[in-house]
Chain A
Amino acid sequence: MSPAIPILLALALGLIGWLAARGRAWALRKQVRAAGKDLHSLPNYHGWYVALWILVPALLFAVVWAATSPGLVLAHVLADPAAAKLPAFGFERDAILSEARALASGSTDAVFNQSARALVEPFREGMQRYALIGTLVTVLLGLSGGIFAFLRLRPDFTARTRVERAVMAGLLLASLAAIFTTAGIVGSLVFETFRFFQFVSPLDFLLGTHWGPDSMAAPTHGVENSYGALPLFWGTAFIGAIIAMLVAIPLGLMSAIFLTQYATPTVRRWMKPLLEILAGVPTVVYGYFAALTVAPLIRDLGHAIGVTSASSESVLAAGVVMGIMIIPFVSSMADDSIAAVPQAMRDGSLAMGATKSETIRRVLLPAALPGIVAGIMLAVSRAIGETMIVVMAAGATARITANPFESMTTVTYQIVAMLTGEGSFDHPATLSAFALGMVLFLVTLTLNFIALSVVKRFREAYD
C-alpha cells in the first residue's frame, strides 16, 4: 500500500467536509434570513473551517507516520525468528535488509543475496500492518476533527475570523521556514567549529601565520603550527577588499554618475540593463575568464616590467576580475542613492552658478555618501564570499605578501579544498573548513548589518 493513499483519503475527506459544511451553512442561512438576520460568516468560510479541521490533523499525522513507520516495520522484522541469522553489524546486514525490503514492496524481483528471501515475508507482513494502521488513524483523525468542527457550526459562529487566523498561521510558518533553515545552518556551523577548536586553539587559528593542514596525517599531528589562518584572511582581504574594490569603486561610481547625470534617457535606457547583465554572468564564467585570459596577460605584464616572481595564477588577476563582477553592485546602489538626492538640491547648486561637475562633487556625492558606502560594503561582503574566481585564478599557496603578481589563497578556496578532499569528518583538516566558514559568515554578516543600518538612516533623512 502506497503512503500516498492516506494523504489522498485525507484530501477526499476534506473535500467532503467542505461541501457538507457549506451546505449546512446555506441551510442555516435560509433559516436565519427568514427571521430577518444573517450568518456571521459567509458559507464558504464555514466550509473552509471544517475542511481545515479535517486536513490539518490528518495530514500532519500522515507526514509523521511516513517518517516513523519504516522504523516500526524494521522492528517488526527483527523480532521475527528469521532475523536471528542476520550478521550482527556492517554492510552485509544492511544490504540484506534493504534487498528484502525491495522484494517485499515489489520494486524488484531478482535476488542477489539468498538469505534475504527468508525476510521478505516478515517485511511484507509488517508493511501491510503498519500501512493499515496509518491509514485508519489518518481517516479517524480527519473524521473526528471534521465532526468536532461541523458540530460547532451555528448562525453566529465566527468561522471567518478563525479561517483568517489559520491563513495567518500558514503564512507565518512559511516565513519561519527560511529563518529556521538559516538557524540550522548557523547551528551546524557553530557545532562543527566547536569540534575544530577542540583540536586547535582559537588563538593559533586566528593569529597563526602558517597554513598547511594535512588530512592524511594523524589528527593531532602539528596542530600548533599548521592551522594559522592569517595568510588566508590576508589573501581574502587583499583580493576581495583591496584589489577588487580598487577596480569596482572608481568604475562603479563613475558609471553611476554618468548614467544619472550625463546620459540622455535613451542612452540610460540601453546602458543600465547592459551593465546589469554583468551581475547575471555565472561566477564560473568569470572564473575561466580570469584564469585563461586575464591571468596570462598579467603574468606577461609582470615579466615585462621586471617582476620575475609573476606567476600564472595571481592575486591581481582574481582581484581585477572580481572587481569587474562587483561593478553592478556598486553602481546600482550609487545610482539609487544619487537619484534619491532631491532635484531641489541639484537646482539649488546649479542656480548658484556651480557647474555640473561641481554640483556632483560638492552636493550630490556628499548627500548620497551613506548609500554609496552601504553599496560598497555589500559589494565587499559579496567579494570576500566569492569562490569560483579565486579557485580558478588565485592559486592554493597560503602566504602573506603584498606582491599582487604572486599567487595567494583565500578562505573560500581553502573551504573547498578541505571539504573535497578524502579527509574524514573527525579530522581537524576537514573541520577547519567550518571554522573558516564561521569567520567568513560573521564578517559578511557584520558588513551587511552595518550597510543596511546605514541605508535605513539615510532613507529617513529625506522622507
Chain B
Amino acid sequence: MTNFHDLDPVEARIAARGVSVYYGDKRAIDNVSIDISDEYVTAFIGPSGCGKSTFLRALNRMNDTILGARVEGEIKLDGEDIYKSGMDVVQLRARVGMVFQKPNPFPKSIYENVAYGPRIHGLSTSKAELDEIVERSLKRAGLWEEVKDRLTESGTALSGGQQQRLCIARAIAVEPEVILMDEPCSALDPIATAKIEELIAELRGRYAIVIVTHSMQQAARVSQRTAFFHLGKMVEYGKTSEIFTNPREERTKDYITGRYG
C-alpha cells in the first residue's frame, strides 16, 4: 500500500484514484492514487522502467497514441473524469500541456512554433493578438530577450536549452492548467538545466506542474511534493523535504541513498 505522508489539505487539480495502465497484457502501472495541486511542483522519481513516465502520459491521454495501451481507474481533472466516453481529447490536451524529454520544436520559425497551439485552438482573432500571445509566452519561458530579433528563424536552429524553453513557451501559449514535463533536462547541459529549473520555479503557482526526473537533486531543488515509483507502484508520496530527509519506506531510502536505480 502506498505510504502517504500527512499532507496539508489542498485543492486537487488532478485527482487519480486506483489507476492502472496496461500495455497489452503487461501492467506498467499498478493501482496508483495521487492528488496534484496547483500550488506545488510535483516530482515523480524512481529507477528506469518504474512506470513514472507512463503514469505522466496517462494524465493527458498521450498513451492513446500507443497501440494496445489501456487505462483502468479514474483520473479527474477539475472533477471531470478524463477517460469518460465522449471526453474530447483535443480539449484535454489543450488544458494539460506537455514538455518532452528531447526538445522537439517543429521545423518552423520560432514564431510559428509558439503560435501553433493558439492557431489550432483559435485563441486569437487578430494578428496583433497572436503577436501578443507569442510575446507573452516567450517572456514567461524566459526566452524573449534571446530571440525577439529573430522570430522568423527556424526553431531547430536554437541551442538545446533554448529549444526546450521554446517547447515550454509553446505549451504555455495555449494557457493550460497543468504542465507535464517528462525528464525535460535529460538532454541538456548543466547551465541549460539550471535555466529550466529557474523557469519551473517561476511558473510555479500559475500552473500545476508535474515533472518526471531521473535526478534526485533536481527533484529536491524544484519540487515541493515527491512521489517515488518502483516496479509500477507508487511506493511513497509526500513533501519533498520529508521524502529526502526522512523516508518511511526502506525502498525509498535505498533509492535515495543510491543503493540501486
Residue pair B100, A265 in contact (C-beta under 8 Å): no
Residue pair B62, A353 in contact (C-beta under 8 Å): no
Q: How many angstroms from the CA of A345 to the CA of B90 in the assembled complex?
A: 17
Residue pair A362, B93 in contact (C-beta under 8 Å): no
**Chain A, 354-371, contact with B by CB distance < 8 Å: what is the 0/1 string?**
110010001100110000
**Chain B, 204-243, contact with A by CB distance < 8 Å: what is the 0/1 string?**
0000000000000000000000000000000000000000
Cβ of A367: which chain B residues have Cβ within 8 Å of it?
106-107
Q: How many A-B residue pairs have CB under 8 A?
A: 69
Q: How many angstroms from the CA of A139 to the CA of B257 in the assembled complex?
A: 83
Q: How many angstroms from the CA of A366 to the CA of B106 in the assembled complex?
A: 10
Residue pair A353, B100 in contact (C-beta under 8 Å): no
What is the number of residues of chain B that contact chain A, defined by CB distance less than 8 Å? 27
Residue pair A344, B104 in contact (C-beta under 8 Å): yes
Cβ of B170: which chain A residues have Cβ within 8 Å of it?
348, 352
A177 CB–B CB distance under 8 Å: no
Kindly state the interface size class of chain A when it binds its partner.
Answer: 20 to 34
A350's nearest neighbour on chain B, judged by CB, is B65
Q: How many angstroms from the CA of A95 to the CA of B73 in the assembled complex?
A: 96
Shortest Cβ distance from A92 into chain B, in angstroms?
76
Residue pair A353, B102 in contact (C-beta under 8 Å): no
Q: Which of A345, A352, A354, A461 contacts B171 (CB 8 A)?
A: A352
A356's nearest neighbour on chain B, judged by CB, is B65
Shortest Cβ distance from B50 into chain A, in angstroms?
21
A347 CB–B CB distance under 8 Å: yes
Residue pair A347, B104 in contact (C-beta under 8 Å): yes
Residue pair A347, B62 in contact (C-beta under 8 Å): yes
A351 CB–B CB distance under 8 Å: yes
- Residues of B77-133 at the interface with A, using a CB-CB cut-off of 8 Å, are 89-94, 97-98, 100, 102, 104-108, 116-117, 120-121
Q: Which of B60, B94, B106 contacts A349 (CB 8 A)?
A: B106
**Chain B, 121-158, contact with A by CB distance < 8 Å: what is the 0/1 string?**
10000000000000000000000000000000000000
Residue pair B100, A347 in contact (C-beta under 8 Å): yes
Residue pair A352, B120 in contact (C-beta under 8 Å): yes
Shortest Cβ distance from A303 into chain B, in angstroms?
48
Cβ of A345: which chain B residues have Cβ within 8 Å of it?
104, 106-107
Cβ of B92: which chain A residues have Cβ within 8 Å of it?
353
Give 10 nearest A-B pairs by CB, closest first.
Answer: A353-B94, A353-B93, A344-B104, A351-B98, A348-B104, A352-B117, A353-B90, A367-B107, A354-B120, A358-B120
Question: Given A350-B62, A351-B60, A351-B93, 15 other A-B contacts at CB below 8 A?
Answer: A346-B65, A347-B65, A348-B104, A350-B93, A351-B171, A352-B94, A352-B174, A353-B93, A353-B94, A353-B121, A354-B117, A354-B120, A362-B116, A366-B108, A367-B107
